[in-house]
Amino acid sequence: MKFELVFIPFLGTGHLRSTVEMAKLLVERETRLSISLIILPGGEVNALSALPNHRLRYEVITNEDQPNIETTNPEFNMEYHVPKVRDLVAKLVNDYSTKPDSPRIAGVVVDMFCTSMVDVAKEFGLPSYLFYTSNAGVLALKFHIQMLYDDNKYDITESDFEDSEAVLDVPSLTRPFPVKCLPHAYVSKQWLPTFVNQARKFREMKGILVNTVAQLEPYALKFLSSGCDTPPPYPVGPLLQLENGVGVGDSVDEEQSEILRWLDKQPNRSVLFLCFGSMGGFREEQAREIAIALERSGHRFLWSLRRASPNIFKEPPREFTNLEEVLPEGFFDRTKERGKVIGWAPQVAVLANPAVGGFVTHGGWNSILESLWFGVPTAPWPLYAEQKFNAFEMVEELGLAVEIRKYWLGDLIVGSGKDTDLVTAEEIERGIMCLMEQDSQVRKKVKEMSESCHVALMDGGSQTALQTFIQDVMKNICLTLS
């Protein structure tokens, strides 16, 4: 029997690209399967790695008649797209019911920010599944907080959590989790109800595809698989957008090519790479502290630097107009033989270069998986979203990263109405020196995990989880038919 899944990804580039990689793997694995991937308004179709074909199709929703949405809550934004998504699913169901040899729609796979689409699946009697683009640890944390919240046992407040000495006993972690490491959204009066409602919706799913590797997060996956009233997890990662070392959809212009040529001239594992994601930027004072640390460290460096946005929802970070005025006087003259300060960086191509020996990163999950894939140790510098948890997991729980500082204040997105805390040059330099140590235990563990990530995409590993997911989809659709 031919069958089809309908994917509904969030429009953010990281979410969309990971979803396409997931869809590609599934149709490659199962010849009876086709996928219709609904691209919501704002999704970058041109940046996708897979061309549409008869088994992987893109259904693009345009911005026509779309109201001007001001809210910063992505779940609320999704509500506006429900009618058009419903119409698309209805058309698919109708077309397949009237055409011979058509596939049967076997379910809807939604992004973590698209849980309102679960109700669309229910209208058509379809099972729903979750594609979780982040890691198993933070997914388990979300379930745990929702349980505490619903039992009236969650009393952490937004005003004092960053100063709290309290810890949470999170069943997906082997050690106590400091409250001050919580993502800001999990204590925000504005955002906490959204994340709790998300977790409740997650429990309605038939299964959860997680962009992780079984060997990377065994304890968290064991908890999620333990029958604790959560759907079964399928560790299907690492889902990476790689094409000859360049991120799919990332064009490398002459300036970027010059960067890669410069890297080719550097000794192996000698260059420190600093890059902080599409929304990462710093105010002038922080940029100066980083520059001082880089100069003092004596290490070669490639630094992707942009200024912080005054309003991240209206304007992305931009490059500084005049870096000579921002960074310490004479910095460029003193470091010109061993360092480069750049704007946007082709991150995947840089990490793939053997000259790179360490990565200071905002700690987004895609960046962490890319660094592990290429065996590059990281020093997390969390700026927003779940990145504080990621830093704790990588440094404290797994020993796969080095620490710049233990606790981080502020959040660039849902933030506390104040700037992120200033990190001193002394702290940064200390972290750099640990990160670039050539024979460290962290570097050895990262190398071992890199090998595990590569093995996961061979037979066994994530391929086994993919096959189990496909079998479960078939079982669930047969139950629906009976």
Q: What domains can you pick out in the chain, each with its CATH number?
A: 3-151+189-241+456-481 (3.40.50.2000), 248-454 (3.40.50.2000)
DSSP run (H or E) holding 388: helix 387-392
Largest separation between any pair of C-alpha atoms in the chain: 75
Give the CA angle between residues 463, 467, 469 to the nearest 5°.
115
Quote the percentage of the chain above a pLDDT of 90.
Answer: 74
**Is 246 a residue whose pLDDT tops 70?**
no
Give the pLDDT mean for 156-177: 93
Give the pLDDT mean for 161-166: 92
> How much is the pLDDT for 13?
81
**Is 52 a residue whose pLDDT tops 80?**
no
Q: With contact defined as beta carbons under 8 Å apart, do 196 and 149 qualify?
A: yes
> How much is the pLDDT for 160?
87
Q: 89-98, 393-402, 435-444: lowest mean pLDDT where?
A: 89-98
> How much is the pLDDT for 248?
44
Sign of CA dihedral 90, 91, 97, 101: negative
**Is 247 a residue whose pLDDT tops 50?**
no
Give the pLDDT mean for 5-24: 91
- The first and second tokens of residue 365, run together, are 């999950």
**Is 251 a residue whose pLDDT tops 60?**
no
Q: With contact defined as beta carbons under 8 Å apart, do 130 and 26 qualify?
A: no
> How much is the pLDDT for 53?
82
**Is 333 a residue whose pLDDT tops 90?**
yes
pLDDT band at residue 417 under the 50/70/90 scheme:
very low
The CB density around residue 171, as the number of other CB atoms within 10 Å, is 18
> How much is the pLDDT for 144?
96
Distance (Å, whole) CA 142 – CA 176: 16
> How much is the pLDDT for 67?
53
Give the pLDDT mean for 147-170: 93
How do 177-178 and 167-168 pair as beta strands?
A: antiparallel
Mean pLDDT over all residues of the chain? 90
> How much is the pLDDT for 316?
85
Selected residue with higher pLDDT from 249 and 46: 46
